[in-house]
Amino acid sequence: MPPPPSGGRRVRVDGEILGVAYNLRDFLEFVRRAGLDPDMVNVVDEDLIEWRGGGPDVW
Protein backbone atom coordinates (compact mmCIF):
# COMPACT_ATOMS: atom_id res chain seq x y z
CA MET A 1 0.00 0.00 0.00
CA PRO A 2 1.51 3.37 -0.98
CA PRO A 3 1.61 6.29 1.43
CA PRO A 4 -1.77 8.08 1.67
CA PRO A 5 -2.28 11.38 -0.18
CA SER A 6 -2.15 13.18 3.18
CA GLY A 7 1.43 11.94 3.59
CA GLY A 8 3.11 9.79 6.15
CA ARG A 9 3.72 6.09 6.45
CA ARG A 10 2.60 3.73 9.16
CA VAL A 11 5.52 2.22 11.04
CA ARG A 12 5.09 -1.32 12.39
CA VAL A 13 7.47 -3.47 14.38
CA ASP A 14 6.54 -7.13 14.77
CA GLY A 15 2.99 -6.31 13.67
CA GLU A 16 2.50 -3.52 16.23
CA ILE A 17 1.80 -0.05 14.80
CA LEU A 18 4.15 2.43 16.46
CA GLY A 19 2.81 5.50 14.69
CA VAL A 20 3.01 7.48 11.46
CA ALA A 21 6.29 8.82 10.09
CA TYR A 22 6.17 11.83 7.78
CA ASN A 23 9.83 11.76 6.84
CA LEU A 24 12.94 9.66 7.29
CA ARG A 25 13.83 11.45 10.52
CA ASP A 26 10.48 10.42 12.02
CA PHE A 27 11.04 6.86 10.84
CA LEU A 28 14.48 6.71 12.45
CA GLU A 29 12.98 7.95 15.73
CA PHE A 30 10.59 4.99 15.67
CA VAL A 31 13.59 2.74 14.98
CA ARG A 32 15.30 4.20 18.05
CA ARG A 33 12.19 3.68 20.21
CA ALA A 34 12.09 0.05 19.04
CA GLY A 35 15.54 -0.42 20.57
CA LEU A 36 17.72 -0.22 17.48
CA ASP A 37 20.55 2.22 16.88
CA PRO A 38 19.35 4.46 14.01
CA ASP A 39 22.97 5.10 12.99
CA MET A 40 23.41 1.36 12.39
CA VAL A 41 20.18 0.83 10.40
CA ASN A 42 20.52 0.64 6.63
CA VAL A 43 17.13 1.91 5.42
CA VAL A 44 17.49 0.03 2.12
CA ASP A 45 18.08 -3.34 3.84
CA GLU A 46 15.12 -5.39 2.63
CA ASP A 47 15.81 -8.10 5.22
CA LEU A 48 15.15 -5.56 7.99
CA ILE A 49 12.62 -3.13 6.50
CA GLU A 50 9.66 -3.75 4.22
CA TRP A 51 8.80 -0.56 2.39
CA ARG A 52 5.39 -0.60 0.73
CA GLY A 53 4.55 1.65 -2.20
CA GLY A 54 8.11 2.91 -2.63
CA GLY A 55 11.37 3.02 -0.78
CA PRO A 56 12.70 5.33 1.91
CA ASP A 57 12.62 8.30 -0.45
CA VAL A 58 8.81 8.16 -0.91
CA TRP A 59 6.81 10.17 1.63
pLDDT in tens, 13-38: 989 999 999 999 999 999 999 999 99
pLDDT value, residue 53 = 84
Helices (H) and strands (E) in the chain, counts: 1, 2
pLDDT tier at 59, thresholds 50, 70, 90 = confident
Q: Which residues contact 51 (CB under 8 A, 6 or more apart)?
A: 58
Q: Tell me, what DSSP letter sits at residue 3?
A: P
Which pTM was predicted? Answer: 0.84
The SS3 of residue 11 is strand
pLDDT tens digits for range 2-15: 666 778 899 999 89
pLDDT tier at 49, thresholds 50, 70, 90 = very high
